[in-house]
Amino acid sequence: MTEAVFRETAAEPRTQAVPLSHLSLELGHLYMEDFEAGPAHLRRHFERVRPWAEAARAGAAAATGGRRPRISTCFLVDDYFTRFSAPAEVVPMLLEEADRAGLTVDYLARESGCAVAGKAPVAEAVAGRIVEEPPPGSYGLRPPAAQTGWLANGERSPVARAPQAMKPAAVWQPPKETAARRHSVFLDVELWDDGPDGHRTWSCPFLAAVWQLARLGLLRDEGEAVLVPQPHTGTAFPDDWDELPPLLRLNPRADPFAAYRTCSVIPSRFLPVEHAVRVILDQIEVDPGALAQAAERSAREHATVPDSVADRVSYVFYAGR
């Protein structure tokens, strides 16, 4: 005999869907010193970005089999580690130099929004989804990332200990990358640090990993989408960064912010950070509902999306500042 099972509708977990483009194309992620260098520096940046952005667009078009790909562009401003100038001064200069290079910035994001967006503790929620990969042969001797704030892509060198009586000192052993191809490229990533006042500061690689999850449409807070674009309704920008939405839609005709895949065209100095981003993404248990939505919709559109979240992320690194 089959028993009927009744559930309250409100008890069913729901994952809010977000619209998805084929590609989220990042046109830059610059720091205070880049803006302090003035318009000429921004002009050189966008001039370097333009040919690679065009190549990324062409690649997305080829992947859709001749159909018009949905591509949105974005730019990330670091207002988390250093507050500088004001949106009223920075944003118009940024948009003017992008336009001069023939580029359109559809969405503007504040890096502080990757830490906290509105009332949503975004970074803290992502940190709670870290599932560390235990290195082969490990016995859980090292503290978890939730305790130390450090995440590795393999097995660290053992800590040297004073030898006990009649026993030899432990022999040094090198660290080992879990997925090494003959030789290891071991990386140990600092996710955050806590100040003496208890205030937690998230690291640049960790916030960059949150940024990638947002661009892939995989961020949720209790099922609700976070970092949702807000339209820019006026002509002027505020004088305070806190008055600017965490994610602003500048182009009303833009394709959706989030996408099946991302591509970032950034200076080569970001390469170590983005290596760390991949290590983090490989050990995040992404919201299963958001993953299922992206998989179902990409399959319906015949758009191939890798199972690995980290493999959905790509980069172009250009030399120089």
Average pLDDT, whole number, for the chain? Answer: 89
**In which band, very low, low, confident or very high, does the pLDDT at 67 lie, cut at 50, 70 and 90?**
confident
Q: Cα–Cα distance between 69 and 310 in angstroms, integer?
A: 21
98-123 burial, b for 16+ CB within 10 Å, e for fewer? beebebebbbbbbbbbbbbbeebebb
Residues 304-314 have a mean pLDDT of 96
* H-helix segments, the chain: 32-36, 39-63, 87-100, 122-127, 145-148, 204-215, 271-281, 288-300
Give me the percent of the chain exceeding a pLDDT of 70.
89
Most confident stretch, 58-72, 151-165, 178-192, 255-269? 255-269
Question: Do residues 109 and 27 lie in contact, with contact meaning Cβ atoms separated by under 8 Å?
Answer: no
Residues 49-74 have a mean pLDDT of 93
Residue 159 or 44, more confident: 44
Q: Cα–Cα distance between 34 and 114 in angstroms, integer?
A: 20
The pTM for the full model equals 0.90
pLDDT single digits (tens) 109-150: 999 999 999 889 999 999 999 998 776 656 556 788 888 899
- Integer CA distances (angstroms), 164 to 14, 95, 139, 157, in order: 57, 65, 21, 20
Residue 38 tokens read as 């003035």
**pLDDT for 200:** 94
**In which band, very low, low, confident or very high, does the pLDDT at 2 lie, cut at 50, 70 and 90?**
very low
Residues 244-257 have a mean pLDDT of 96
Q: Where are the domains of the chain?
A: 16-128+195-318
Residues 215-222 have a mean pLDDT of 94
